Amino acid sequence: MLRTRHTAAFALITVAALALTACGSGDPAAAPAGAPAAEGKVPTTDVVSSVRKDEAAAKLLPADVRAARTLTVAASVGSPPGSTYLADGRTVAGTDIDFADAVARKLGLRLTREVASFEAILPALDSGKYDVGTGNFGVTEERRRTIDFVTYINDGQGFAVRDDSKLKKVTDLTQLCGLTVGTGAGTTFEVTLEENRHLCSDAGREPYDVKTYNDQGATWASLQQGRSDVVMSTINGLRYAVRQQEGVRFLNEFKRLDVGFAFKKGTGLAPAFRAAVNGLKADGTYDRILKKWGIGESAITTSRISPPEIK
């Protein structure tokens, strides 16, 4: 059962974990009906409005995009630092949001942002419903077969537990044998866990159980309430979350992954987006965004188009 002293702190996470199952909204920053607003110390420093257009990068855009000067971006809004809602319940904020807005300014574009569920965005890109997707999408070999990426940070997979857990560090998934692992549905974490579940059986041990959730708040609730023994999620998201809650701790990084803007395979937008991200690094905006969200360790040296998965 959720302990009383954790209730207020836990609310900081659950209210920020919105819209992972929401449908696209015509309002670029509208929360689903009835969704609570994010609370806690979500930074609101403006690090984007000073960005100026880079004519050389803008010339790399396809001619029709240069003429329209508008792109539709699908944003999965989950939990900070990646993306969340501010206290008004409408305004979205996070690393994904700042980087998308900064790149748009570099390219002289206006973004029409629609909130969409994490698992729906990649298929929707292929159908042409959206031009670009954001949602802390890790670059994997499987995704590279159908999606193009332009990288902007490095994040990855990690673990968190309650303070009473005997786990100290997870370096091998067999350390999870016999436990229940909570994670997000449709994520690289679910794929990693499912693909390696056999390791426990191969070792003659009880397999771990994987419980998936459509929003991060439910994942944390499963941990706090004892329905999960460990949570697997993004490194940055876990570190942010444990600072907001009592009784939980970050275990360790398990695997690093590059994170990028997602596009339909064969997109003509990728060269311009890569040039824009590298332009943000050159003018200092890139570092200001990382500092704002406290994720300096996620800096990349240079933006790349669909690089191989980090092994």
Residue 119: per-residue pLDDT: 87
- pLDDT band at 109; cut points 50, 70, 90: very high
Tell me the per-residue pLDDT of 64-74, one tens digit each, with 9 for 90 and over: 999 999 999 99
Q: Name the band, by pLDDT with cuts 50, 70 and 90, for residue 111.
A: very high
Kindly indicate the confidence band of residue 26, based on its pLDDT and cuts at 50, 70 and 90. Answer: very low
Contact 71, 104 (CB under 8 A): yes
What would the pLDDT profile of 189-238 be if each residue is shown by its tens digit? 999 999 999 999 999 999 999 999 988 889 999 999 999 999 999 999 99
Reference 12, options 96, 118, 93, 84; nearest CA is 84
pLDDT of 50 higher than 70 = yes
Mean per-residue pLDDT of the chain = 88
Which of the residue ranges 83-92, 97-106, 170-179 would you say has the lowest mean pLDDT?
A: 83-92
What CA–CA distance (Å, rounded) separates 190 from 106?
Answer: 35
For 281, residues 6+ apart whose C-beta sits below 8 A from its C-beta are 287, 302, 303
- Cβ-in-10-Å burial (0-12, 13-18, 19+) of 76 comes to buried
**H or E element, residue 98:** helix 95-107
CA–CA separation, 227 and 210 (whole Å):
11
**Chain centre distance of CA 171:** 22
Q: What percent of the chain has pLDDT over 70?
A: 87
SS3 for 154-210 is EEEEEEEEECCCCCCCCCCHHHHCCCEEEEECCCHHHHHHHHCCHHHHHCCCCCCEE
Of the candidates 161, 128, 140, the one whose C-alpha atom is nearest the C-alpha of residue 263 is: 128
> Phi and psi for 137 in degrees, rounded to 5?
-75, 115
Place 98 in a pLDDT band, splitting at 50, 70 and 90: very high
Do 277 and 150 form a contact (C-beta atoms < 8 A)? yes
Query: Is pLDDT larger for residue 114 or for residue 13?
Result: 114
17-26, 114-123, 251-260: least confidently modelled range: 17-26
Its pTM stands at 0.83
